A and B are shown apart, each in its own frame.
Chain A
Amino acid sequence: MTAESIRVRGLVQGVGFRPTVWRLARACGLSGDVRNDGEGVLIRVCRSDDGDDPGVSGFLERLREECPPLARIDSIERSPIADVQELAHLAQRQDFVILESAATAVHTGIVADAATCAACVAEIRDPADRRYRYPFTNCTHCGPRLSIVAGIPYDRARTSMAAFPMCPDCAAEYKDPADRRFHAQPNACPVCGPKVWLQDAAGHLLDPTAFGAEDAIAAASRLLTEGRILAIKGIGGFHLACDATNPDAVAELRRRKRRYAKPLALMVRDLDVIQGYCRVTGREAAVLAGPGAPIVLLERGGADRGGTSVDDAMAFDGFRCALPKLESGHPSGGDGFRCALPELGLEHPSGEDGFRCALPILRDGAGALRPLAADVAPGQTTLGVMLPYSPIHHLLLTDWDRPLVMTSGNLSEEPQCIDNADALGRLGQLADVLLLHDRAIINRVDDSVVRVMAGQPRLLRRARGYAPTPLPLPPGFEDAPPLLALGGELKNTFCLVRDGQAILSQHLGDLEDAKTAREYERTLALYLDLFQVVPEALAVDLHPDYRSSLIGRDRVARDGLPLIGVQHHHAHLASTLADNGWPLDAGPVLGILLDGLGYGSDGTLWGGECLLGDYLDFKRIAHLKPVAMPGGTRAILEPWRNLYAHLESAGGWAAWRARFDGLEPIERLDAKPLGILSTLIARGLNAPLSSSAGRLFDAVASALGVGGEVLTYEGQAAIALESLASVAMDRVGDGYPFGRSTGPTGEVLDPAPLWEHLLADLSRGRPPEEIAAAFHVGLATALGTLTLDLASRHGISTVALSGGVFQNRLLLESVTSGLEAAGLRVLLQRQVPANDGGLSLGQAAVAAARVLM
């Protein structure tokens, strides 16, 4: 007899990998064993002496094919076992067995929370099943993980399931390798597991039968139908929910939550229902239905095409039609839905660019599809939509053929609630009724957000369903020492490096918020424990006032570790490289990094940067022309300040005012206290110069009067501008021009020339969506030309695009396709956000490179 050992690396722990190995090995008639150890999974199999045994190869082939849904095999290495004692030991095995984990440095297999699998959904829908309508049904292939774990090793005793000892039935499943629930730590059933209940804000329990419902979740569903607002405890936090088609409920939710503008996320029962409201591509459908179950930003379409100004002109009873051809069967006013175009004396726009009329969908029955309340996502051409991802949601949405608003359970700006008492205190005022349960959420894990752009799903917020899954670092980083990168200020994540892998925390949020800052430190301690990392160096942003940088500086002062400062945009660049597996020694690329702002290595504020660099270092070779931000942070909140500053920078306000006297934005600016702003700019008084691309978008949005006078969320003006431009991108031809010059800090891209064209177009009455599109096209063209020049000058063939501004699909796709058409390779963020949520990965990669080289 001979034997071989098979080393499997990847995401193979805590995901039902060993039972799969066990099942397949037995099916293939192999004897031997399987266990977890510090490097992954180790399989040992015996075989007969005569050469290559097809049994083992066949087994491995099936293992790859039938890899459990949450597992990922990175590599399989086979080697013969020579040790005589070991051989003798194995020879005694008649069977194939699962061994307990080896005690050496076990990597604990803390994986991401996963959406309820199809098998579990089938059980909760089956009246004959013992888990019928049981809201905490899960198995090895699905259910909570990160959100319930408090320590290692990952077993039930160190999760919030510790409070629920398994009943004999559950325990039997847990112990049986042939069962889907083998070693499923949160395994539970109605006999032994957590329970849900309804209560009102005063804390009184509500009896579901009083609502004529069979249980609390059915009662909750009924309350939502009646237009009530519910707080719902889920996997990693609370949601506030209401009927998304009920304008009063949505308005009331916004009022209570004090969230007046930011779009609200939706949860929808299934893809069919989504398709009534959005256009869903195959790729988007796959992401929606995957185990991550993120919020996916979808283009509006279907029945409820939402509004840009083209559509706004056609608005009628809150409903829009953009049909190429009227089809028969438009109901006339039955439900208040009529095609608005004939009323307005307008032709239906023709063309194949995606305009569809919603009304035919109504043919199948009046009221079958109701339009969303207008202020679910005001001024947006996209909707954030997710599918149910826990049994609670599946049961809640059973009867819903229209979307529910499912927004994070908090007041604006705060982190969402995770515990019942906190929820009663904070959400009691926001919700009419609370749907609670007694399984504690140990770690807040927000909903992730994905947008499919340039052909790939790209994370905009990486949290539930994704974190803390390790990301393999590119070749060359294998020997990186343990490191900790502390991230940015807003949309913060931190990142640990261990064994050639980067472990990013879930999205933690805005560190100016006190609760978030505390949670940050607690989560950091948890991750260091869960992943057994003792950092040998820390990486922070250069900004002197980022809380993450303060924490980093405090820690190194205490622990005597080296502190590595990483420039903000260099971190964005390195994040893109690491995200794409760019090897450590693969040489420099050209990074186009566009964002709101980051602290530059020269002490000024950057945000529209072209860096030539690798992991180790960079050189700033081009940037947008620095323009003042009069009023500092205030200029970030009030886009009109940037419009003024840009006009001032592009030849002087007085000249523009004289030239475009009477034009709306000029009049609007003229009514502002510009004298004081001009003093701020002239004296450099709280008017820092910044090469920010975000502020340029703000200025253009302000010129068009979109995005609001005072912003209430990050990126608001830029998003409004993108929405506006999205309907006119193909019909504007050449975009607005930018200027170019060479200065001491490299090439300077100057937006000044665009203002002449933009204001002239505006005064000529060119539709604002065309102006917005001409700006996008112009910027993409200018960036493309600049990049091509620089690439050829520096002999570079690869370009990396990152920074929060590249969450703009139009810009990302135009720049990418332009560069690719010219033969360049373009790297984009995918697994981590292009916004500051991806900074920590870049900081970690830069720090690792500096330590290694």
Chain B
Amino acid sequence: MSHGSGGRAMAQLIGELFQRYLDHELLTLGNDQALFTPPPGRLVMSTDGHVISPLFFPGGDIGSLAVHGTINDVAMSGARPLYLAAGFILEEGFPLGDLARIVESMAQAANAAGVPVVTGDTKVVERGKGDGVFITTTGIGVVPEGILISGDRAEPGDVILVSGSMGDHGVAILSKRENLGFETEIRSDSAALHELVAAMIAAVPDIHCLRDPTRGGLATTLNELAHQSGVGMQIREDAIPVRSEVAAACELLGLDPLYVANEGKLIAICPPDQAERLLAAMRAHPLGAESAIIGEVVEDPHRFVQMETGFGGSRIVDWLAGEQLPRIC
């Protein structure tokens, strides 16, 4: 593959590739934009650049991840995602076969989610100036009437739920990238969560906060929410679902699964009297079958996220400046 204006043949190849897999009518029209009439309601929009090594991993690849990540960011407002846009930056020399796999996977993810890619762009950069392929996806969606979900709405007394096990994605990526060879293969949880969200909203319209604990994991996301809402959070270590193989891998690697990324899980915060109902709705959905109540929002001027440990102690789950750096002298 060559780059720049000279790569007309290549651009045509890519064009064909996208046409073949991403065959939504708006895209195949061949315009530089997608034209549509939005349904009534408030629109939300989100964009996310996807950079990942390795590009292919157990449970997904950069293509499906780019679709799921943006759908989830849109859905965490309570919105129904409508359309996606995708921008590709390819490094010169990137194997066409891999690209085809990625585009196909992207198409499958978008189709399965019912959220089509309706416009896109591709650029090729010189060899050495990119890392294979980067994909930026933008999503647009519409929030149903009466739904107000925001990171600043957590109130003391609210209940904190998660939709399933923590840390799968990050450990899957790491073990594939570094070829760690754990006994059990750990798969990424990459998934589109908007249908789970729709089911949750249908059961409990007054959800206060939703967020997907991606980079930095559960711990970082809870700290963000605590900070935004000006509250503390009290969670219970025993209640947080972590797959045993993920826990074992994390112990071996010295990582805390609460700081490890997820791509198919969400955190929900709702009033206490709605929690059981919400939990039931989450568990009824296949992507929330292992949902759990993990703690409560509390009043706390320090905005600590604190965790009752298995030993009955209470540890501060901090926002880390960078990587997980030892602190014990």
> Do A and B assemble together?
yes
Given known A673-B252, A686-B254, contact A514–B314 (CB-CB < 8 A): yes
Are A413 and B329 closer than 8 Å at their CB atoms? no
Are B313 and A686 closer than 8 Å at their CB atoms? no
Question: Which residue of the partner chain A has the closest CB to B324?
Answer: A632
Given known A411-B311, A517-B304, contact A632–B328 (CB-CB < 8 A): no
Are A513 and B326 closer than 8 Å at their CB atoms? no
Contact residues in B for A345 (Cβ distance below 8 Å) = none
- The yes or no answer to B13 lying at the interface (CB within 8 A) is no
- The yes or no answer to B255 lying at the interface (CB within 8 A) is yes
Cα A17 to Cα B178 in complex, Å, equals 70
Within 8 A of B (CB), among A794-837: 804, 835-836
Given known A512-B315, A596-B328, contact A545–B254 (CB-CB < 8 A): no
- The yes or no answer to B29 lying at the interface (CB within 8 A) is no
Are B327 and A514 closer than 8 Å at their CB atoms? no
Within 8 A of B (CB), among A471-528: 488-491, 511-515, 517-518, 521
Contact residues in B for A513 (Cβ distance below 8 Å) = 313-316
Min Cβ gap B255→A in Å is 6
Are A547 and B318 closer than 8 Å at their CB atoms? yes
Are A411 and B312 closer than 8 Å at their CB atoms? yes
- The yes or no answer to B112 lying at the interface (CB within 8 A) is no
Given known A543-B327, A835-B329, contact A634–B316 (CB-CB < 8 A): no
- The yes or no answer to B179 lying at the interface (CB within 8 A) is yes
Given known A513-B313, A547-B318, contact A632–B326 (CB-CB < 8 A): yes
How many chain A residues have a CB neighbour from B under 8 Å? 54
Are A597 and B316 closer than 8 Å at their CB atoms? no
Are B316 and A545 closer than 8 Å at their CB atoms? no
Cα A635 to Cα B328 in complex, Å, equals 11
Cα A515 to Cα B178 in complex, Å, equals 39
- The yes or no answer to A633 lying at the interface (CB within 8 A) is yes
Cα A633 to Cα B315 in complex, Å, equals 15
Question: Which residue of the partner chain B has the closest CB to A549?
Answer: B321
Contact residues in A for B326 (Cβ distance below 8 Å) = 597, 605, 629, 632-633, 635-636, 688
Question: Which residue of the partner chain B has the closest CB to A430?
Answer: B312
Question: Which residue of the partner chain A has the closest CB to B325?
Answer: A545
Cβ-neighbour of A414 out of B302, B312, B329 (below 8 A): B312
Contact residues in A for B39 (Cβ distance below 8 Å) = none
Cα A629 to Cα B254 in complex, Å, equals 10
Question: Which residue of the partner chain A has the closest CB to B322?
Answer: A544
Are A635 and B180 closer than 8 Å at their CB atoms? no
Cα A514 to Cα B315 in complex, Å, equals 5
Are B253 and A597 closer than 8 Å at their CB atoms? no
Within 8 A of B (CB), among A582-623: 595-599, 605, 607
- What string of 1s and 0s marks CB contacts (under 8 Å) between A532-557 and chain B? 00000000000111110010000000
Contact residues in B for A598 (Cβ distance below 8 Å) = 329
Question: Which residue of the partner chain A has the closest CB to B175?
Answer: A676
Contact residues in B for A632 (Cβ distance below 8 Å) = 254-255, 324-326
Min Cβ gap A484→B in Å is 18
Cβ-neighbour of B329 out of A490, A512, A675, A683 (below 8 A): A490
Cα A490 to Cα B327 in complex, Å, equals 8
Min Cβ gap B326→A in Å is 4
- The yes or no answer to B273 lying at the interface (CB within 8 A) is no
- The yes or no answer to B251 lying at the interface (CB within 8 A) is yes
- The yes or no answer to B323 lying at the interface (CB within 8 A) is yes
Are A633 and B254 closer than 8 Å at their CB atoms? yes
Within 8 A of A (CB), among B287-329: 302, 304, 306, 309, 311-316, 318, 320-329
Within 8 A of B (CB), among A329-387: none
Are A634 and B254 closer than 8 Å at their CB atoms? yes
- The yes or no answer to A143 lying at the interface (CB within 8 A) is no
- The yes or no answer to A258 lying at the interface (CB within 8 A) is yes
Question: Which residue of the partner chain B has the closest CB to A632?
Answer: B254
- The yes or no answer to B146 lying at the interface (CB within 8 A) is no
Cβ-neighbour of A412 out of B179, B313, B321, B323 (below 8 A): B313
Min Cβ gap B284→A in Å is 35
Are B327 and A489 closer than 8 Å at their CB atoms? yes
- The yes or no answer to B40 lying at the interface (CB within 8 A) is no
Are B329 and A489 closer than 8 Å at their CB atoms? yes
- What string of 1s and 0s marks CB contacts (under 8 Å) between A93-126 and chain B? 0000000000000000000000000000000000
- The yes or no answer to B181 lying at the interface (CB within 8 A) is yes
Cα A683 to Cα B306 in complex, Å, equals 32
- The yes or no answer to A631 lying at the interface (CB within 8 A) is yes
Are B322 and A686 closer than 8 Å at their CB atoms? no
Contact residues in B for A597 (Cβ distance below 8 Å) = 326, 328-329
Cα A634 to Cα B254 in complex, Å, equals 5
Contact residues in B for A605 (Cβ distance below 8 Å) = 325-326
Are B328 and A636 closer than 8 Å at their CB atoms? yes
- The yes or no answer to A630 lying at the interface (CB within 8 A) is yes
- Which size bracket describes the interface of B in this complex? 20 to 34
Best-buried of A545, A568, A630 by chain B (most CB within 10 Å)? A545
Min Cβ gap B245→A in Å is 13
Question: Which residue of the partner chain A has the closest CB to B249?
Answer: A676
Contact residues in B for A518 (Cβ distance below 8 Å) = 302, 304
Are B251 and A634 closer than 8 Å at their CB atoms? yes
- The yes or no answer to A680 lying at the interface (CB within 8 A) is yes
Contact residues in A for B251 (Cβ distance below 8 Å) = 634
Min Cβ gap A634→B in Å is 3
Question: Which residue of the partner chain B has the closest CB to A543?
Answer: B327
Are A412 and B327 closer than 8 Å at their CB atoms? no
- What string of 1s and 0s marks CB contacts (under 8 Å) between A404-430 and chain B? 000000011110000000000000000
- The yes or no answer to A223 lying at the interface (CB within 8 A) is no
- What string of 1s and 0s marks CB contacts (under 8 Å) between B196-228 and chain A? 000000000000000000000000000000000
Given known A518-B302, A679-B179, A686-B323, contact A836–B253 (CB-CB < 8 A): no
Are B313 and A631 closer than 8 Å at their CB atoms? no
- What string of 1s and 0s marks CB contacts (under 8 Å) between A52-86 and chain B? 00000000000000000000000000000000000
Question: Which residue of the partner chain A has the closest CB to B310?
Answer: A258
Cα A680 to Cα B322 in complex, Å, equals 18
Are A514 and B180 closer than 8 Å at their CB atoms? no
Are B321 and A544 closer than 8 Å at their CB atoms? yes
- The yes or no answer to A709 lying at the interface (CB within 8 A) is no
Are A514 and B311 closer than 8 Å at their CB atoms? no
Are A545 and B327 closer than 8 Å at their CB atoms? yes
Contact residues in B for A595 (Cβ distance below 8 Å) = 329
Within 8 A of A (CB), among B225-267: 251-255
Contact residues in B for A804 (Cβ distance below 8 Å) = 329
Are B329 and A521 closer than 8 Å at their CB atoms? no
Contact residues in A for B304 (Cβ distance below 8 Å) = 514, 517-518
- The yes or no answer to A650 lying at the interface (CB within 8 A) is no
- The yes or no answer to A206 lying at the interface (CB within 8 A) is no
- The yes or no answer to A317 lying at the interface (CB within 8 A) is no
Contact residues in B for A732 (Cβ distance below 8 Å) = none
Min Cβ gap A435→B in Å is 22
- What string of 1s and 0s marks CB contacts (under 8 Å) between A680-707 and chain B? 1001011010000010000000000000
Cα A512 to Cα B174 in complex, Å, equals 27
Min Cβ gap A374→B in Å is 24
Are B327 and A546 closer than 8 Å at their CB atoms? yes
Min Cβ gap A461→B in Å is 14
Best-buried of B304, B318, B328 by chain A (most CB within 10 Å)? B328
18 new A-B contacts, CB < 8 A, other than A631-B254, A836-B329, are: A258-B312, A411-B312, A414-B313, A490-B328, A550-B318, A568-B329, A607-B329, A632-B326, A633-B324, A633-B327, A633-B328, A635-B326, A636-B326, A676-B180, A677-B252, A685-B178, A686-B253, A686-B254
A-B contact pairs, 23 of them (CB 8 A): A411-B312, A413-B309, A413-B313, A414-B312, A489-B327, A489-B329, A512-B318, A512-B327, A514-B304, A544-B321, A568-B329, A596-B329, A605-B325, A632-B255, A634-B252, A635-B254, A636-B326, A636-B328, A679-B179, A685-B174, A686-B253, A686-B255, A714-B329
Question: Which A residues lie at the B interface, using CB under 8 A?
Answer: 258, 411-414, 488-491, 511-515, 517-518, 521, 543-547, 550, 568, 595-599, 605, 607, 629-636, 673, 675-677, 679-680, 683, 685-686, 688, 694, 714, 804, 835-836
Q: Which 6 A-B pairs have the closest CB atoms?
A: A631-B254, A634-B254, A544-B321, A514-B306, A514-B314, A413-B313
